[in-house]
Every structure is written in C-alpha cells, then in structure tokens.
Structure 1
Amino acid sequence: MIGASGSLGSVVAEQLSQKNQVTGTYCSREPTIKIDKVEYKQLNITDKKAFEGLEKGFDCVVLVSGAMPATMSGYEPQTYIDVNITGTLNTLEFCRQRNIPKLIFIMTFSDVSDSFYSGLPITTEQPRKLAMTGDHAVYGISKATACDLIEHYHQEYDLQTILFRIPTVYCADDNVDFYVDGVKRTKAYVKMIRSVVQHKKIEIWGNPENAKDMPYVKDFSRLIELAVSSKTAQGLYNAGTGSPVTLEQLVNEIIQVFAGEESVEKTYRPEMASQPNFTFDMSKTEADFGYQPQYDLRSMLMDIRDSVDSAVWLTSDL
C-alpha cells in the first residue's frame, strides 16, 4: 500500500492488515503511530529507482499517496505533475515489471464538480469536465491524466484497475487543519464542533438545505478491502454514500452528539458561501462489491467523539 501514513491511508492499512499481509509506504517522515501487522517502507514515488527497494510477491497495489490542495502550503503546481502523474506512472511500471495483477487508485471528485448543483446523482458515466482556473486546476488535470495512464495500462497490459472517485472522506484523527488557496485553516466541521462544545452556539452558512455525501473513513476502508478481494471489478467507481446530508442535518446532529441536552444557539448566515450540493449514484459500487455503508451521520459523529484527542479537537481556540 503506497501512502499508509496519512489520515486516510493509515485507516485503510489497518483494515487491510486484518486479513492480508500489508507493506505500507511513507514518503519522508516515519509514521508516528504504526500498525503492528503492517511492515513499513520509505518510498518516494517520484523516484523510479526507489521502487527497486521493495520486495517481490505483491498481488495488489493500493495507491493512496498523492499531492492535493488540502495539504499544500502555498502553490507549487509542479508537485502535482511530479507526484500525481510521474508517481502514478512509476507505480504502473512497478506493477508491470513485477507482474502485479491489480492496482487500486484514489481519484478526486473534482472531475465532475460542474455537476454539483444539478440536483441529480453523479454517475460513473458522467462526462469529465475539469476546472481550468483556480488552485485546483492543475491538481484536477494531474489526477485525470493519472486515470488515463491507468486505463492505458489496463488495456495494454491487462492490469486489473479499480479507481475510486471520492468526495471529502471524514476521519477521526488529530489532523484538524487543511489548506485553502495555500493558506492553513481549520476544517469547517471541526470549527462547528468546537463552537458547540466551547460556546454553545453555531453558525449555519449559506443554504441550510444544500446536501452532500459524507463518507466515513472506516466505511471507505471496508470498500478498499472489498476491492482487494474482487477478481472481476474494473474501472471507475463512486465512493460516497448515496445518502446526502444537508447542512441543517449536520448541525442538528453535531448539537445532539456534542452538546446533548444543553441548549445551543443557532445563527443563520445566508449571506455566506454555501457548501456544495451533490450526491453520488452508488449503484455500480453496490452491485460489484455488495457495498453498503455501516455508518450514518450520527454514528460517524459519535465514533469521532469517542476516538479523537479532545484536547486537539474540542478545546483549541476558535
């Protein structure tokens, strides 16, 4: 598994290690928390020769590692080219040269961002339409190019390739910050939880009826496990929930889970920007993997509440 030390990759690696022998890679810094059953190796995927240090005998590669705007301080578009395109090509060559029969890849949903407000579930057949402006443009282009390279290796070398298109996957770890236009900010839902816990108040920005898919990392890791086991799945799959959550629902559940019976003041701010409004058609994913999410919104928030370091999540200054 390439990229086993981040918020997403570490949970996937732990899930896979329950039934599989897993080698997990990290790029530069060794993981602070290691999973007992996972063997860790350092790997820079932009360096083709670095793959020579990996052992033989793998039957699947899960490629989670990638450069993305949410983790980029400032703006370095070359990084997207190096990591997401060259890194993917190096991984594909590694699969070809080692006769590894399967690659699983994580794809962004920015390739269909123009369909967010259509009111229709986004299908896997939705035409690709990439943004050509903004800080996500080169990122989206690089991920789409990686997908095209993967399809080439599928057709040319009969590599089984499974691509999961993901929205934001919600995690329960101490990584509460991300980058917007290269500037560090705290994740919106973390700020909302902190406001409820510390001040017993919460703001609802934009249209409270806008709804979006909110998959939980533990469900997503089970989906990856199903993909590793599948002998027939091929191509692009949506990795959402198919059950979008409105902002109003999210706020009400945060209050219930983190404030309980205490009164919380809600303030509506319709003049502020709204969250995206979209949902995924999950029919292909359900049919090919027999997949159904186990976590709804409340159980996800309860698991986050019971799993995270409260000193980081709940008591930091707003």
Structure 2
Amino acid sequence: MRKILVIGATGSLGKVVTENLSLQYEVTGTYCHSKHDERITNIRYLKLDVTDKFDFEKLEHVYDCIVLISGAMPATMHGYQPQKYIDVNITGTLNTLEFCKKTKVRKMIFVMSFSDVAGSFYSGIPITTEQPRSLAMTGDHAVYGISKATACDLIEHYHQEYGLQTVIFRIPTVYCADDNVNYFVDGSKRTKAYVQMIRNVVQYQRIEVWGDPQNAKDMPYVKDFSRLIELAVKSKTAQGLYNAGTGSPVSLEQLVDTIIEIFGEDNSIEKVFLPEKNSQPNFTFDMSRTRAEFGFVPEYDLRRMFLDIRENVDPLVWQSGDK
C-alpha cells in the first residue's frame, strides 16, 4: 500500500483530504496547533513544525507522496505578522522540499492561494493557469500572496533541478461542513459571510444582499476538492499548476436564494438589498486543464453543497452570533 504524508491534516481542508485518502492509502497526518480526532484510528498523527527543518527528522523515510496543505494565511491570523508568512509559507515549503530530496519522495502536491491572480478579478474572463501574476502589493494580503508565489517558484525549481513531480492546486475559498465559522479580516475576527447569512435566515427570517447581486464567484466544496487531491495522488503525468475551482461561478443572488431554500422554513424570508456595501469578488476559473488531466468534474453544485452542510453541521451553529 502506498504511503501518503499530509502536512496540515487537522484543519478544515486537511481533515477531509486526510480522511478521504486514508480509505485507499496508509496515511500519516501532521498538525501544529489544531488537535486531531482521536476516534480516527486508521491515520497516524504526528506534531510537526514545518519552520524547523530538524523537526522533519521524526518522520519516516518511506512516503510515496507528500500533500502540503498547512500554511499561514490572513483568514487565520490574529493581528498582522508578516514574518509568519515568510517562516511558514516559504521556509516551511523549502524544508518540505528538502525532505523530499533527502528521502527520495517522488511526488509533492501543494495548495496555492488564488492571490497570485487578484488583479484578474472582475474582468469577466475565466482565469487560466497561464494567467500572468497580478499580486496585490498593498493591504494585509500582500506579503501572504508574495510568500505563496515564492513557494511555488521553489517548488518549480525542485521539479526542474531534481525531477520531483509537483502538482500545485490554485484554490479560491473552499467551503466546508464544519463548525469553523469565524475568520480574520485585517487581523480582526469576523463571522464568515455565508454563515451570518444562514443565521439571519434561521433566526430572523431575513437576509442581507450586499453590493451587486450579479457578482459571481467559484464556490468549490471540500468533498470535491478532496477527490481532486486523490486524483492527483494517482496521476503519473500531472505536473505544474492546475485551477481547483468549479468553472461555474455562483452569483450572490443565486447564493441568497439557495440559502433561503435550504435553511428557510417558508418563502417569507425578507431580502434586504444594501448596494452601498462591498460586493463579493467577481471571478471564475478556467478548469479546462484540470478536466483534461484528471477528468475532474465537480459533483457538488451549490444546492447539493448546502444540503450536505445542513446535514453535517450541528444546527446550534446557526443559532449563535449577532444579527
């Protein structure tokens, strides 16, 4: 049985990816801060600090593939610590690549932010894998985006220099069925927008529609993403950057109507339009290269995703928070 190492196995993404891979492979998952579910007995868990190259010595030298998910990001950062992006996203990636070289790991899969093409939002043109970089050079995402782009350059170097098979998945926000309902904006904690929308529907029978209702974005579901990782583990030919969205952007209006359908008790939910508020991003990914290489087609549309979230998230989550 092939052996897979998932670095960052206990976060919202890593947990689902790790558990899915464990159905077919012998999986070791690492964590740094988040605890793992001790009821899961078919996965071996180890604590690993990716910024410390000597910490990698505790790992076995037997892995066929490494999936690097862990990383520092604005959505999980209290305050602003740019050095953390350098340490975790750049040094951590370098340490992982060095471990691959030292132990002769044949493949590495990396999860990349879509921050490298931030300048291509709102164009109405699907973003391809060949799109030139357009990193934001201001704001709290700037160093983050720079660090992730640099990590990708390091990965490409190790592919060309040492023959490591490397697969990079560029992701937008991936939606998950868990109780992790908060994130950080400019270092301050906020409730995720879709969570607040669901709470308003459930508790107050109203929902706010911010900005332009026609702005549309890719909304991939974690179960589709975990299947894409599985396909990459199996692929002998995949190499380089692949978009990991849906190719079918969801407008804010569609999102609102679907939340009302799935979480509203009837059709009397009040829609409150606030065009003066900030709109959601407007973008979609060109998924042609991903489909061609992996035969990947998302199984979860928006409605099926929210049905699955409703089924798997404790209803008490929707009963919390402010109006």
TM interval, shorter chain, is over 0.9
CA apart distance, 1:34: 5.1
Query: Secondary structure at 2:7's aligned position in 1?
Result: coil
| Aligned residue among 35, 40, 43 for 2:45 | 40
Aligned residues: 318
Q: Offset at 1:55?
A: 1.0
Verify: 1:55 aligned to 2:55, yes or no.
Answer: no
CA distance, structure 1, for counterparts of residue 120 and residue 298 of structure 2: 23
- 2:63 pairs with 1:75: no
User: Does the 8 A contact of 2:11 with 2:34 survive in 1?
Assistant: no
Residue equivalent to 1:105: 110
Whole-angstrom distance in 2 between the partners of 1:313 and 1:36: 30
TM-score by length of 2: 0.97
Q: Are residues 1:8 and 2:4 paired?
A: no
- The answer on 1:195 being equivalent to 2:200 is yes
Describe how 1:1-318 pairs up with structure 2 within 5 A. 1-32=6-37, 35-318=40-323
Q: Cα RMSD between the aligned structures? A: 1.0
The CA distance in 2 between the partners of 1:133 and 1:317, in whole Å, is 31
- What CA distance in whole angstroms lies between the structure 2 residues aligned with 1:278 and 1:185? 23
Give secondary structure in 2 for the equivalent of 1:243.
coil
- Tell me which amino acid in the other structure corresponds to 1:10: K
Tell me how far 1:31 sits from its aligned partner: 1.9
Alpha-carbon distance between aligned partners in 2 of 1:185 and 1:34, rounded to the nearest angstrom: 30
- Classify 1:43/1:34 alpha carbon distance in 2 versus 1 (closer, same or farther; 3 Å): farther
Which letter maps to 1:282?
A: M
2:307 match: secondary structure: helix
Structure 1 distance, partners of 2:11, 2:39, is 11
State the distance in 2 between where 1:248 and 1:85 align: 38
CA deviations over 1:236-270 (Å, ceiling 9, x no partner):
00000000000000000000000143410001111
1:33 deviates by 5.5
TM-score, normalised to structure 1, is 0.98
**Matched position secondary structure for 1:107:** strand
C-alpha distance in 2, partners of 1:260/1:227?
41
Moved over 6 A (4+): none
- The alpha-carbon deviation at position 310 of structure 1 amounts to 1.4
**Which amino acid counterpart does residue 285 of structure 1 have in structure 2?**
T
1:229, 1:194 → 2: CA distance?
A: 40
Q: Which runs of 5+ in 2 are unaligned?
A: 1-5
Deviation at 1:312, TM superposition (A): 2.1
Q: Hey, what's the Cα distance between the residues in 2 that align with 1:248 and 1:174?
A: 24
Q: C-alpha separation between the residues in 1 aligned to 2:256 and 2:205?
A: 12
Contact 2:202 2:318 in 1 (8 A): no
